[in-house]
Amino acid sequence: MTIDDIRDAAERIRGSIVHTPLLPSLWADPARPLWLKPENLQSIGAFKVRGAFNAIGKLDERARARGVVAYSSGNHAQAVAYAARRFGIPAHIVMPDVTPRIKVDNTREHGAEVVLVPIAERESTAHALVERLGAVLIPPFDHPDIIAGQGTIGLEIGQDLADVELVLVPVSGGGLASGIGVGVKALCPNAAVYAVEPELAGDTRESFERGSVVEWPVELRARTIADGLRSQPSELTFAHLRTVLDGVITVSEDEIRSAVRTLATSARLVAEPAGAVSLAGYLHHADELPAGRTVAVVSGGNIDPALLADVLGA
């Protein structure tokens, strides 16, 4: 996956996604001017549409016509459902039977067939559907076309702020962080790219320090409020991360909640906890980061309204 793949992806998904603006933050530390990249403003509320449109758009027409399958309970589910509808093809989304009703409903509203299964059977059910339907599996992060799609964010950052010095990006499965890293480093070789994750799901930091993927049990990763950051990198994404990241930092649960509040009150953006970790890193971990012109990627905004109300009232 190279910058050329990202440029191809950008061409392919233009018209299907929002080229989000860089929003300057007046309240930033003057030594570290800050811009927010609000991917929560994509149609389904998260960056995942970029990868989904690229992966589905790249299929040859006959393969695409047989439809797509994905397994996800989060933003990837809605992204694939939405992109499939825009292509006029069927989508089957496999979700754990414990998925909150609202997420199931949202995915169905995009026209997808939702298949609810016990959580342990997600992958096998998805693969069985692929077999039976002749459909194509669209993975959440572990695929070059997905990584290239998310990488278009890095391309836009490099085009819109050529003298950027630091990019902060959430990391979980690593598709977003590795795609952005490749895009930014190609256009701005002197810019640093740091990934940010919750302490409670700090597997990537540990993996990065050891130089190989360290498995964290899912029940450990599930402790964080940032439900979008409970995956861990694959061998593919981790290999990219080692090449393009300058560091990985972790943030506390309180720092995440505080950043959700700051985004709402000072940037007028509704962010989900996963979407706020990059700002949490900027605000609370300056000592672990290079100074200079900084972009923080706000990756998504699908937060439970009750949680947002709680954070605002605190």
> Binding to a copy of itself by residue 293, rule CB under 8 A?
no
- Whether 115 and 94 have beta carbons less than 8 Å apart is answered as yes
Least distance from a copy of itself to the Cβ atom of residue 276, Å: 12
Least distance from a copy of itself to the Cβ atom of residue 37, Å: 12
State the virtual CA torsion across 290, 294, 295, 298 in degrees, nearest 10.
70
Q: Strand order of the sheet with strand 192-198?
A: 23-24, 34-38, 294-298, 166-170, 192-198, 247-251
Contact with a copy of itself (CB under 8 A): which of 18, 116, 162, 218? 18
- Whether 95 and 118 have beta carbons less than 8 Å apart is answered as no
> Binding to a copy of itself by residue 281, rule CB under 8 A?
no
Of residues 50, 279, 10, 260, the one with CA closest to residue 167: 279
Q: Is 48 a catalytic residue?
A: yes
Number of residues that bind a copy of itself (CB under 8 A): 33
Q: Is 58 a catalytic residue?
A: no
- Whether 138 and 101 have beta carbons less than 8 Å apart is answered as no
Contact with a copy of itself (CB under 8 A): which of 218, 265, 288, 291? 265
**Which string of x and - marks every residue 106-145 that binds a copy of itself (by CB under 8 A)?**
----x-----------------------------------
Strands (E), 97-211: 113-117, 136-137, 166-170, 192-198
Q: What are phi and psi of 193, to 5 degrees?
A: -120, 120
Contact with a copy of itself (CB under 8 A): which of 47, 82, 141, 194? 82
Residues that bind a copy of itself (CB under 8 A): 18-21, 23-26, 38, 40-41, 43-45, 82, 110, 261, 264-265, 267-271, 301-302, 305-306, 308-310, 312-313
